[in-house]
């Protein structure tokens, strides 16, 4: 059964794609190459889920142990900035999807435009994140020796530090993924500018797009868990 | 295919020639050799630390090493042996070399990522070596908090970052194998024609990609906690040190299966070849690998029976631990059933197979002792545990690794080694190993705790036996390095199929050409389709 499928692929390869310079030597057809790369990225994303999973596990344990500190900690975060960043990332996922589409139909200008927009939106996210982090330093909300609990919350200072630790690690690891994504997109942009992609070969755009969407989705989970939890547990922020 | 002897001009060992060609290679076979060299170095380094530990334990008093030095030696022995030898051992060398050939592919799905994984391994190893020279690490290989995150004054951060980095080499190897098995099989190579070596590596890869990211983030948290003063595992701030143990063992128990599953794959190949028979119950052996990988993720709590875990959680973990023994037993019974009435011949791989079975059975059964909560309260953190996991990791995994290395050495190098010396080495390993670790079961049962550099005088006889065994074991591991090295320069050229074995890897020349196959192979028969009366050219 499987042998028929493969034989057809192999024949197809010799017919259509034999001279495609983008076909690596160890694959028999462009289809096989695209399928392998896509599956590879999906498997990588599974490992990423497990990577963030450890942090979400820690979050769940401490949120259950210290609901009050989690509520108060959440209320220290800047919801409007977080919401704005959420919107920025969702739009960047749209431009990313448009870039993949442009690559599939061979629209070089469309690829370049949408990739630049994606990179700009990703950078906007990081700039906003920088100002959020800076304000946490200014208000002595960074865990460690210089941590000062906000007025009225002195009794839960130790647990607040755990919340802020998780906030910094989770958003920090996410931001590191954004940086990787932006570097990746810059490489893809360069390749697109050179006109490397078209209906015959758009694998790198597609798999980079999967990565970008994944990083967005992680934020979609982080935003409510970290920023909106204060509303959920204790009403509006003060 | 032709049974030519000697290397072809297009052998993967030949061209392109030069150091740069090797360090920038994308050929899975050359990368396997790079891994083989690096893990052999780390095996020796880990062995040196073990010599220190065993030497100290010859006498009851702490007279050779200080307590601090002893702590560092057993920690580094564990870290190096587990993360830099055992976990990459079979997958990164034999797996890397053989999986593409066994399934009829020219290479792994992602050759560049394969090379990247080796470089990541090397960087992680070097960072960990920095920890050795920056004062060592004394937390035990388990990095338990809060000692690792707050108290220890040693170079824990370096070691943790080294382990973090190396984890990604393992993740990328697993990813590469999974995609390769799914997408690169030759025509006719259906899932149920795959050699069991490939099945077990597929299961191993699942554990690698699902478990390793969790240890990565966990040791990263420890490193961050030490360097940035976070409070996630800090009891003074309400943090829970036991959470670390849960996260750690969520990976580190399945990691035991990363070490043993590839070994089981090797034994499945060897047992069929030495018996000249189809593996008994092929599908059961294949699925038992998956069962071990899946159930293996649900037993981590048996490391926390005495760590404040609830008794009800303990009961559940204890029952599931019993359950994971079932697929391992299925394999063991099927291997023995394969040998039953087989045409078993006694070349060196046979000695390693039989040795593996003996040691693995003892290691597995003593695991059931430890999985029983009541008994574990007595045996926890004693030498019984040390003996148990060495029977699995050294007796099981390394015995299988050595067996596989001997079996495929002619294929990898194109040279025959001296089989008489190889048999001697297998017997020495078996004797030395049992002499080293069997007394430790008794010591543990009598109550000698692990990780102390001094002990009461009544334990000395058993400890001296253990150290004596360790010196035999050390020599037995040195021996193959000698005759393997000699074989490279003076060994007779290997024929394509010296053992008369089945499988695509035996149909290509020894050593294989760079792209493995001249044309895409078409598979028309099941694995291990042995017929009576095949010739063996080793003797």
How does pLDDT run across B351-360, given as a tens digit for each residue?
A: 999 999 999 9
d(CA B86, CA A66): 40
CB contact under 8 A, B237 and A53: no
How far is the C-alpha of A71 from the C-alpha of A236, rounded, in Å? 11
**For residues B331 and B290, is the Cβ–Cβ distance under 8 A?**
no
Contacts of B238 (CB under 8 A, 6+ apart): A65, A66, A69, A158, A159, A162, B231
pLDDT digits (tens, 9 = 90+) for B90-120: 999 999 999 999 999 999 999 999 999 999 9
Q: Which of B171, B515, B522 sits opposite A47 (nearest CB)?
A: B171
pLDDT for B535 equals 55
Kindly give, in sequence order, each residue whose CB lies less than 8 Å from that of residue B389, ignoring residues fewer than 6 positions away.
B256, B363
pLDDT value at position B536?
58
CA-based angle B256:B50:B88, to the nearest 5?
35
Interface of B with A in 178-197 (CB under 8 A): 178-179, 182-190
Question: Which of chain B's residues have a Cβ under 8 Å away from the Cβ of A7?
Answer: 187, 522
Tokens describing residue A193:
């500018």
CA distance B232 to chain A (A): 5
- Give the per-residue pLDDT at B394: 93
**Residues B237, A156 contacting (CB under 8 angstroms):** no
Rounded CA-CA distance A140/A147 in Å is 5
Distance CA B78, CA B103 (A): 34
- Count Cα atoms within 13 angstroms, Cβ side, for B486: 10
Q: Give which of A35, A39, A50 to mutate to test B binding, by max B Cβ within 10 Å.
A: A50
Instruction: Tell if the CB–CB gap between A158 and B523 is shorter than 8 Å.
Output: no
User: Does B150 reach chain A within 8 Å, measured CB to CB?
Assistant: no
pLDDT computed for residue B2 by the predictor:
38
Check CB contact under 8 Å for B183 and A35: yes
Contacts of A35 in chain B (CB under 8 A): 183
Contact B240 A62 (CB under 8 A): yes
Interface of B with A in 71-110 (CB under 8 A): 105-110
Distance from C-alpha of A182 to C-alpha of A215, rounded to nearest angstrom = 11
Q: To the nearest whole angstrom, how far is the Cα of A66 from the nearest Cα of chain B?
A: 9
Q: Is there a contact between B384 and B369 (Cβ–Cβ < 8 Å)? A: yes
Sketch out chain B's domains with CATH numbers.
26-232+239-506 (1.20.210.10)
ipTM: 0.91
User: Is residue B285 within 8 Å of B349, Cβ to Cβ?
Assistant: no
Locus of tokens 């087989």: B342
How much is the average pLDDT of A62-85?
95
Cβ distance B188 to A145 less than 8 Å, yes or no, reads: no
Cβ burial B71-95 (10 Å sphere, 16+ → b, else e):
bbbbbbbbbbbbbbbbbbbbbbbbb
Q: Tell me the pLDDT band of A7, cut-offs 50, 70 and 90.
A: very low
**B222 and chain A: CB distance < 8 Å anywhere?**
no
What span, in angstroms and rounded, lies between the C-alpha atoms of B264 and B258?
A: 11
Distance CA B7, CA B48 (A): 36
For residue B176, pLDDT beyond 90 = yes
pLDDT tens for A147-206 read 999 988 999 999 999 999 999 999 999 999 999 999 999 999 999 999 999 999 999 999
- For residue A11, pLDDT over 90 is answered with no
* Helices A157-193 and A67-75: angle between axes, nearest 10 degrees: 50
Q: Which of residues 274-333 of B touch A (CB under 8 A)?
A: none
Average pLDDT, chain B: 94
- According to DSSP, the residues that pair with B415 across neighbouring strands are B493
Q: If you average pLDDT over residues B434-443, what whole number do you get?
A: 97
The reply to whether residue A26 touches residue B212, judged by beta carbons under 8 angstroms, is no
- What is the spatial distance between Cα B291 and Cα B202, in angstroms, rounded to a whole number? 12
Share of chain B above pLDDT 90, in %: 91
Check residue B490 and give its pLDDT. 94
| Banded model confidence at residue A4, pLDDT cuts 50, 70, 90 | very low
Q: Mean pLDDT, to the nearest integer, of B390-401? A: 96
Residues A46-54, mean pLDDT to the nearest whole number: 96
Is the CB of B221 less than 8 angstroms away from the CB of A169?
yes
Q: How far is B254 from chain A (nearest CA, A)?
A: 14
pLDDT band of B483, cuts 50, 70, 90: very high
B386 touches chain A (CB under 8 A): no
A5 has pLDDT over 50: no
pLDDT value of position B533: 55
What does the pLDDT look like over B313-346, one tens digit per residue? 999 999 999 999 999 999 999 999 999 989 999 9
pLDDT in the model for residue A122: 98
pLDDT-derived band at A14 (thresholds 50, 70, 90) equals: very low
Query: What's residue A235's pLDDT?
Result: 60
Chain A residue closest in CA terms to B193? A2
Q: What is the pLDDT of residue A25?
A: 85
Closest residue in chain A to residue B105, using alpha carbons only: A26
Contact, A27 vs A33, CB < 8 A? yes
Q: Where are the alpha helices (DSSP H) in B12-155?
A: 19-23, 28-56, 67-79, 87-90, 96-102, 111-133
Predicted confidence (pLDDT) per residue in A227-238, tens digit? 999 888 876 544
Cα-based distances in Å from B212 to B171, B175, B309: 6, 11, 23
Can you say how many angstroms the Cα of residue B511 is from the centroid of all Cα atoms in its chain? 24
**Axis-axis angle for helices B241-275, B311-339 (nearest 10):** 10
Task: Looking at the complex, report in whole angstroms how far the Cα of residue B310 sits from the nearest Cα belonging to chain A.
Answer: 15
DSSP output for B251-317: HHHHHHHHHHHHHHHHHHHHHHHHHTSPPTTHHHHHHHHHHHHHHGGG-GGGG-TTTT--HHHHHHH
How close A123 comes to chain B (CA, Å)?
25
**Are the beta carbons of B185 and A2 separated by less than 8 Å?**
yes
CA B474 to chain centre: 17
Flag whether pLDDT at B405 surpasses 50. Answer: yes
How far, in Å, CA of B100 to CA of B53, rounded? 40
Q: What is the pLDDT of residue B537?
A: 57
Phi, psi of B519 (to 5 degrees): -140, 160
Shortest Cα–Cα distance, B240 to chain A (Å): 9
What would the DSSP string read from start to end of B193-207? GS-HHHHHHHHHHHH
Which residue, B519, B369, B499, B511, is CA-closest to B422? B499
d(CA B80, CA B74): 10
Sketch out chain A's domains with CATH numbers.
31-234 (1.20.120.80)
The mean per-residue pLDDT over the stretch B179-198 comes to 96
């Amino acid at each position: 059964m499987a042998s028929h499928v493969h034989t057809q692929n192999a024949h197809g390869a010799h017919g259509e794609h034999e001279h495609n310079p983008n076909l690596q030597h160890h694959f028999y057809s462009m289809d096989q190459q695209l399928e392998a790369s896509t599956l590879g990225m999906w498997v990588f994303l599974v490992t990423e889920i497990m990577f963030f999973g450890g942090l979400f596990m820690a979050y769940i344990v401490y949120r259950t142990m210290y609901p009050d500190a989690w509520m108060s900690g959440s209320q220290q975060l800047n919801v409007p900035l977080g919401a704005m960043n959420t919107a920025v990332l969702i739009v960047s996922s749209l431009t990313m999807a448009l870039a993949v589409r442009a690559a599939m139909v061979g629209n070089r200008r469309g690829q370049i435009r949408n990739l630049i927009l994606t990179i700009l939106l990703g950078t906007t996210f990081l700039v906003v994140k920088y100002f959020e982090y800076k304000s946490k330093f200014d208000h002595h909300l960074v865990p460690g020796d210089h941590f000062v609990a906000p007025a009225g919350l002195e009794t839960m200072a130790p647990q607040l530090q755990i919340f802020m630790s998780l906030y910094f690690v989770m958003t920090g690891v996410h931001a590191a993924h954004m940086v990787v994504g932006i570097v990746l997109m810059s490489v893809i942009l360069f390749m697109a500018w050179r006109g490397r992609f078209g209906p015959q070969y758009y694998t790198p755009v597609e798999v980079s797009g999967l990565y970008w969407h994944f990083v967005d989705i992680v934020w979609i989970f982080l935003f409510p868990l970290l920023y909106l939890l204060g509303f959920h547990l204790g009403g509006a922020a003060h | 295919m032709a049974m030519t002897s000697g290397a072809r001009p297009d052998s993967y060992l030949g061209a392109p020639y030069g150091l740069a060609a090797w360090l920038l290679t994308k050929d899975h076979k050359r990368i396997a050799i790079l891994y083989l060299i690096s893990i052999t170095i780390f095996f020796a380094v880990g062995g040196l630390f073990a010599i220190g530990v065993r030497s100290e334990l010859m006498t009851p008093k702490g007279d050779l090493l200080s307590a601090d030095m002893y702590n560092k030696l057993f920690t580094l022995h564990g870290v190096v042996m587990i993360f830099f030898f055992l976990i990459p051992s079979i997958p990164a060398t034999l797996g890397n070399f053989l999986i593409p050939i066994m399934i009829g592919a020219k290479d792994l799905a992602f050759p560049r990522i394969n090379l990247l994984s080796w470089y990541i391994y090397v960087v992680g190893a070097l960072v960990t070596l920095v920890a050795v020279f920056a004062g060592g690490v004394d937390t035990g290989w388990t990095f338990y908090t809060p000692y690792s995150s707050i108290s220890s004054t040693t170079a824990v951060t370096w070691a943790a970052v080294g382990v973090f980095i190396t984890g990604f080499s393992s993740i990328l190897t697993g990813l590469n194998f999974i995609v390769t098995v799914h997408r690169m099989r030759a025509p006719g190579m259906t899932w149920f024609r795959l050699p069991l070596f490939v099945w077990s590596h597929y299961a191993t890869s699942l554990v690698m990609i699902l478990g390793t990211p969790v240890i990565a983030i966990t040791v990263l948290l420890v490193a961050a906690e030490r360097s940035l003063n976070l409070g996630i595992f800090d009891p003074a701030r309400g943090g829970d040190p036991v959470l670390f143990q849960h996260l750690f063992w969520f990976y580190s128990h399945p990691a035991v299966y990363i070490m043993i599953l590839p070994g089981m794959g090797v034994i499945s190949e060897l047992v069929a070849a030495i018996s000249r028979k189809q593996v008994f119950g092929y599908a059961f052996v294949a699925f038992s690998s998956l069962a071990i990988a899946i159930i293996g993720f649900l037993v981590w709590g048996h490391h926390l029976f005495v760590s404040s875990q609830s008794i009800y959680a303990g009961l559940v973990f204890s029952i599931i631990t019993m359950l994971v023994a079932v697929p391992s037993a299925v394999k063991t019974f099927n291997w023995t059933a394969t040998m039953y009435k087989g045409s078993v011949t006694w070349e060196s791989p046979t000695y390693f197979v039989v040795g593996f079975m003996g040691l693995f059975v003892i290691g597995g059964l003593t695991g059931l002792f430890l999985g029983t909560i009541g008994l574990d309260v007595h045996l926890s953190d004693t030498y019984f545990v040390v003996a148990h996991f060495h029977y699995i990791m050294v007796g099981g995994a390394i015995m299988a690794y050595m067996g596989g290395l001997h079996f495929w050495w002619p294929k990898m190098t194109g040279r025959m080694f001296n089989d008489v010396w190889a048999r001697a080495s297998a017997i020495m390993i078996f004797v030395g190993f049992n002499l080293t670790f069997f007394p430790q079961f008794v010591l543990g049962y009598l109550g000698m705790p692990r990780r102390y550099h001094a002990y009461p005088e009544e334990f000395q006889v058993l400890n001296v036996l253990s150290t004596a065994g360790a010196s035999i074991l050390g020599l037995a591991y040195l021996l193959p390095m000698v005759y393997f090295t000699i074989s490279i320069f003076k060994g007779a050229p290997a024929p394509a199929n010296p053992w008369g074995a089945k499988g695509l890897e035996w149909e290509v020349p020894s050593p294989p050409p760079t792209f493995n196959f001249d044309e895409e192979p078409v598979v028309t028969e099941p694995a291990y389709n042995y017929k009576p009366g095949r010739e063996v050219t080793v003797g």
